[in-house]
């Protein structure tokens, strides 16, 4: 079981109960909708390697319980997260109203530079919509969040949400805004990047050898 990747990012999925956090994760990883899912107690996990701007990034995703009561528990999982999907349900204003609380927690407890993408899930239930796209995108802008409306049922924008979030983190690393080596950045070098870092010339040497053959 050898996995090669350049970076490992710790991701969170947060938001109220019943907004579809676990289903988003399941859709992202298995590429299908889980219609008989249990509710998450505590935390569940997923991981996937994606290719973003020519880098292999392994996402280590922490899918947390949504009930308010569990916050004291789930808060302890925020530490060192590099990215987060903040999920609400477009058919439930209540889940939208709770966003500020979730956001405060995430900014306070995860890494300072955490990249958050707001996901208005259940896009397929447009007829029951209680939160407009415009309103949510304004909220996202005011709070410096990326924003997508997603559907864990159809898969629309699900992969995009994870990829966009990862891409932004990579950009921040490249621009120097994020330092992966800082403690609690939520970023680790993968094997590939480590090899390059330790012996930047080794790649050349190997290819030179190949030429000699």
Partner 1 sequence: MMATPSLLLYVDGSLFAKKVKDTRPVEQKHPSWKVFGKLPPKESSAKTQKEYEAKNSRDGPGLSPTSPRRSVRKNLDFEPLSTTALILEDRPANLPAKPAEEAQKHRQQYEEMVAQAKKRELKEAQKRRKQLEDRVKVEERIGNAAQTWNQEILPNWSSLCTTRWVRELWWQGIPPSVRGKVWSLAVGNELNITHELYNICLSRAREKWKNMPSVPPIESQTEDAGSSLADREASLELIKLDISRTFPHLCIFQQGGPYYDVLHSILGAYTCYRPDVGYVQGMSFIAAVLILNLDTADAFIAFANLLNKPCQMAFFRVDHSLMLMYFAAFEVFFEENLPKLFAHFKENNLTPDIYLIDWIFTLYSKSLPLDLACRVWDVFCRDGDEFLFRVALGILRLYEDVLTRMDFIHNAQFLTRLPDLIPADQLFSHIHAIHMISKNRKWSQVLQALQKEQERTSPVLKR
Instruction: List interacting residues with partner 1 (CB under 8 A).
Output: 17-18, 36-39, 41-47, 60, 65, 67-70, 72-73, 76, 93-94, 97-98
Spatial contact of 88 and 148, defined as CB atoms under 8 Å apart: no
Q: How far is the CB of 101 from partner 1 (least distance, A)?
A: 8
Please, which residue, 146 or 186, has the CB nearer to partner 1?
Answer: 186
Q: How far is the CB of 72 from partner 1 (least distance, A)?
A: 5
Q: Of 171, 172, 164, 125, give the one whose Cα is nearest residue 147.
A: 164
Please, which residue, 89 or 149, has the CB nearer to partner 1?
Answer: 89
Q: How far is the CB of 44 from partner 1 (least distance, A)?
A: 5
Q: How far is the CB of 159 from partner 1 (least distance, A)?
A: 19
Please, which residue, 65 or 146, has the CB nearer to partner 1?
Answer: 65
Strands 7-15 and 83-89: parallel
Distance between CA atoms of residues 83 and 28, nearest Å: 15
For residue 116, give the 3-state DSSP assignment. strand
Q: List C-alpha distances in Å: 35 to 32, 38, 113, 189.
A: 9, 9, 34, 36
Spatial contact of 71 and 64, defined as CB atoms under 8 Å apart: no
Q: How far is the CB of 206 from partner 1 (least distance, A)?
A: 27
Distance between CA atoms of residues 147 and 118, nearest Å: 5
Please, which residue, 77 or 147, has the CB nearer to partner 1?
Answer: 77
Please, which residue, 34 or 168, has the CB nearer to partner 1?
Answer: 34
């Amino acid at each position: 079981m050898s996995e090669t990747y350049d970076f490992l990012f710790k991701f969170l999925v947060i938001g109220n109960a019943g907004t579809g956090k676990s289903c988003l994760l399941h859709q992202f990883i298995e590429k299908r909708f889980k219609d008989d899912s249990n509710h998450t107690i505590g935390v569940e996990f997923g991981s996937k390697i994606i290719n973003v701007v020519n880098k292999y990034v392994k996402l280590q995703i922490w899918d947390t319980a949504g009930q308010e009561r569990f916050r004291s528990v789930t808060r302890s999982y925020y530490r060192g997260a590099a990215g987060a999907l903040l999920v609400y349900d477009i058919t439930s204003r209540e889940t939208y109203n709770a966003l500020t609380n979730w956001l405060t927690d995430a900014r306070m407890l995860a890494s300072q530079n955490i990249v958050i993408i707001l996901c208005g899930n259940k896009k397929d239930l447009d007829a029951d919509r209680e939160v407009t796209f415009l309103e949510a995108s304004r909220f996202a802008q005011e709070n410096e969040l990326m924003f997508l409306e997603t559907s864990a049922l159809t898969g629309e924008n699900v992969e995009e949400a994870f990829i966009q979030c990862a891409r932004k983190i990579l950009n921040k690393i490249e621009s120097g805004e994020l330092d992966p080596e800082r403690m609690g950045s939520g970023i680790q070098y993968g094997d590939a990047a480590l090899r390059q870092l330790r012996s930047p010339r080794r790649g050349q040497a190997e290819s030179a050898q190949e030429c000699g053959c």
